[in-house]
Amino acid sequence: MHQLTLAEIARALADKQFSAEELTRSLLARIQQLDPQLNSFITVTEEQAIAQAKAADARRANGESGALLGAPIGHKDLFCTQGTRTSCGSKILDNFNSPYDATVVERLAAAGAVSLGKLNMDEFAMGSANESSFYGAVKNPWDLSRVPGGSSGGSAAAVAARLLPAATGSDTGGSIRQPAALTNLTGLKPTYGRVSRWGMIAYASSLDQGGPLARTAEDCALMLGAMAGFDPKDSTSVDQPLEDYLATLSQPLTGLRIGLPKEYFGEGLDPKIGTAVMQAVEELKKVGATVKEISLPNMQHAIPSYYVIAPAEASSNLSRFDGVRFGYRCENPADLTDLYKRSRAEGFGDEVRRRIMVGTYALSAGYYDAYYLKAQKIRRLIKNDFISAFEEVDVILGPTTPNLAWKLGEKNNDPVSAYLEDIYTITANLAGIPGISMPAGFIDGLPVGVQLLAPYFQEARLLNVAHQYQQATEWHKQAPSGF
């Protein structure tokens, strides 16, 4: 059962090949047996999952149907889940049990999905390797000595190792797409505002976006159909009609115009990854696509712009964790100032403290115009580059990451090197456009991902292209040995 995709599980449940409870118990046993190698879960909600599975079986017995009814998933541990620890991978929230469900959690539960637990992540979603979690690093199931990518590394590792067919993630600068690429999964970052952020613990509010991680584009379409939609509780949610993401998967790609940015294929890209990307282009040309070289001239400024804006917003968002209202509190504070200082110093990890410091500096009176305001102007230039490019092409294609999954601990003393792993993904967050990463081969036994970007609210087009590519290739069907 664990080898089935989400879509295959939906069909099997509908055909009564097994029950949701049988499937849930089977996967829970698998998690207990295999997850100690991976550390992909922070909390396994066994009793709740079995109760949800029984309820799903009862709904089916009463004549209900639905692709996600009884389907097992997991949630990245920044989606608030009522009555369950929601830690955001941080010591400061280790004792926080959420009093409510995030909209994403609520919508997937309403669709009948069975949540098996909360998945490990970089602390407050800050990282590219899933090594900054208070609960320890997550291991890549393709090579346990390597990182799975971050910050949704727990979600990626669990799905890649067949502990789950799909999971939720969040993407602030590539945190769905990058781990998808490093673990041979399909990961979708929707348009900013397409999926509600209400109840999703914030890192950088103008960049964060929830989305699905799964093995296929079809599975991501199933997940997105339940997750997406307007939410009046989220002031950044966009009130725009949803497409039927499944209905358009099989549309032919005849005449599809693919743009290849020349900036994606220069210095810094592993040449072997570049070759794999071009092989993917050739596959898409075989099914009717045309290819054109384009330019995104301001991409070179993306990393510095992002690493001013994101830490600045983090500095503001994380000021609420003060040891007073909820979360970790230091012992025996001398006074209120000591309470604030020690609770935050003891509760936050190194990477989070680093970004808070950088963000606070960028927002300070003497430097706001020089850093934060200038970064926002660059952000607009990057957005304009995409608007111009999409007048010439339908989608943009390139590598998801410049390198393969690196060794655990390899970049711990060089945070800038880790930041550069996001070079191809952060522009989509700065502009707010949707992006997807799909499996595109292996180099020395490690997965390679190819990224597609599209204009605003054209998730259906991305899913269609990825699905057609997956109909022509077998990369997404490969599983790590031992799992």
Domain boundaries, the chain: 1-483
Query: So what's the pLDDT on residue 413?
Result: 84
Catalytically annotated residue among 76, 118, 139, 411: 76
pLDDT band at 366 (very low <50, low <70, confident <90, very high): confident
pLDDT on residue 345: 96
* Contact present, 103 and 331 (Cβ < 8 Å): no
Mean pLDDT for 93-107 is: 97
CA distance 436 to 454: 9
Mean pLDDT of 270-281: 97
Q: Which residue has the tokens 């990626």?
A: 156
The single residue of 40, 98, 115, 151 carrying the catalytic annotation is: 151
Mean pLDDT for all residues in the chain: 96
Decide: 75 and 113 in contact? Cβ < 8 Å: no
CA–CA dist 89, 256 (Å, integer): 41
pTM, entire model: 0.96
Q: Catalytic residue at 54?
A: no
Q: Which CATH architecture has domain 1-483?
A: Alpha-Beta Complex (3.90)
Active site residue 315: no
**Over 90: is that where the pLDDT of 157 sits?**
yes
pLDDT value of residue 416: 83
* pLDDT of the residue at 31: 98
pLDDT of residue 171 exceeding 90, the answer is yes
Q: How far apart are the first and last CA of the chain?
A: 13
For residue 169, what are the β-bridge partners? 211
Please state, for a pLDDT cut of 90, what percent of the chain lies above it. Answer: 96
pLDDT at position 7 is: 97
Residues 6+ apart with CB under 8 A from 250: 464, 467, 468
Span 386-405, average pLDDT: 97
Coil, helix or strand at residue 52: helix
Percent helix, strand and coil across the chain, each rounded to 5?
45, 15, 40
Q: How far apart are the C-alpha atoms of 223 and 115, rounded to whole Å?
A: 13
pLDDT tens for residues 215-250? 999 999 999 999 999 999 999 999 999 999 999 999
pLDDT category, 151, cuts 50, 70, 90?
very high
Strand partners, 74: 167
Catalytic residue among 132, 133, 170, 175: 175
pLDDT at 415 (0 to 100): 83
Residue 151 designated active-site: yes
Over residues 336-361, the mean pLDDT reads 95
